[in-house]
Amino acid sequence: MKIGIEIVASSGPGILHELTGVIARHQGNILSVEIVEEKPPQTRIMFEIELPGEAAALVAGLAQLTVVSHVVQVETMDKVYGKRIIIMGGGAQVGQVALGAITEADRHNIRGEHISVDTIPLVGERPLAAAVRASARLPRVKAIVLAGSLMGGEIEQAVRDVRAQGLLVVSLNMAGSVPDAADLVVTDPVQAGVMTVMAVADTAKFAIERLKRRVF
């Protein structure tokens, strides 16, 4: 069973050690941990844990710690927000890609899928390359869309790096070398958003590897 646990605990050295010790004693496998808010003297922490049984004993065990003032079981981020798609690049193009992605995600989400769409308008080779690489470190990200008029150089290498880590990269058909490095190249930004959602949705019968061409 996969659960979320939100904890408000004292701030300071060794707090995570105490919390994870209780989780380990209940055979919990920590899938993710995030310091949601740090406001001394307290810290709010979110764990996602895989448990072999029910969560009540773990919650009770955590609540018994003197450093813990509040603990509650919550839904996991995967269940609430699901797979993430990140659209980055020029503001106008990002907005058009988002239009297609959000509309298509809504169609799948009402059928039981969970897909969320994030956007970040950015300009400049280094900021974009850093954002591409950082996307592979974010939780639940399944695909990124590069929406702009000109991208290449360090951004191209960043694209190749995250693709090697299993991230799907869709690019608008633009000047520069990024389209050569992407999994899929789409000229129309709205269609790029639609196709990206279709590629990650379990409720869609669409697979990029089955396409006979990669530029549209």
Per-residue HEC secondary structure of 104-167 comes to HHHHHHCCCCCEEEEEEECCCHHHHHHHHHHHCCCCCEEEEEEECCECCCHHHHHHHHHHHCCC
What pTM did the predictor assign? 0.83
Q: Which residues pair with 72 in a beta bridge?
A: 6
Q: Which of 56, 78, 100 is the last residue before a domain boundary?
A: 78
As a whole number of angstroms, the distance between CA 142 and CA 23 comes to 28
Which pLDDT does position 170 carry in this prediction?
96
Strands 42-50 and 2-10: antiparallel
Which pLDDT does position 40 carry in this prediction?
85
Identify whether 215 is part of a domain.
no
Identify whether 20 is part of a domain.
yes
Domain count, the chain: 2
The stretch 150-178 carries a mean pLDDT of 94
Can you read off the two tokens belonging to residue 24?
């380990």
Task: Tell whether 116 and 145 lie within a shared domain.
Answer: yes
For the chain, how far is it from start to end, CA to CA, in angstroms? 42
As a whole number of angstroms, the distance between CA 122 and CA 182 comes to 18
Task: Tell whether 73 and 106 lie within a shared domain.
Answer: no
Identify whether 191 is part of a domain.
yes
Mean pLDDT of the chain: 91
Can you read off the two tokens belonging to residue 9?
């605990």
**pLDDT tens for residues 27-80?**
999 999 988 888 889 899 999 999 998 889 899 889 999 998 999 999 988 888
What CATH number has the domain bearing residue 92? 3.40.50.10550
3-state secondary structure of 169: strand
Which pLDDT does position 53 carry in this prediction?
82
Identify whether 73 is part of a domain.
yes
Identify whether 44 is part of a domain.
yes
Q: Is the pLDDT of residue 21 over 80?
A: yes
Q: Which of 78, 103, 124 is the last residue before a domain boundary?
A: 78
> Checking phi first, is residue 89 left (phi over 0); if not, alpha (psi -120 to 50) or beta?
left
**pLDDT tens for residues 86-131?**
999 988 999 999 999 999 999 999 998 999 999 999 989 999 999 9
Which pLDDT does position 19 carry in this prediction?
93
Pairwise pLDDT comparison (147 vs 202), residue with the higher score: 147
Identify whether 216 is part of a domain.
no
Other CB atoms within 10 A of residue 163 CB: 17
Which pLDDT does position 23 carry in this prediction?
93
Task: Tell whether 104 and 140 lie within a shared domain.
Answer: yes
As a whole number of angstroms, the distance between CA 168 and CA 159 comes to 9
- Structural domain including 69 reads 2-78
3-state secondary structure of 11: coil
Selection from 141, 159, 151 nearest residue 93 by Cα: 151
Q: Is the pLDDT of residue 206 over 90?
A: no
Selection from 1, 86, 60, 72 nearest residue 36 by Cα: 72
Q: Is the pLDDT of residue 181 over 90?
A: yes
φ and ψ of 213, to 5 deg: -145, 160
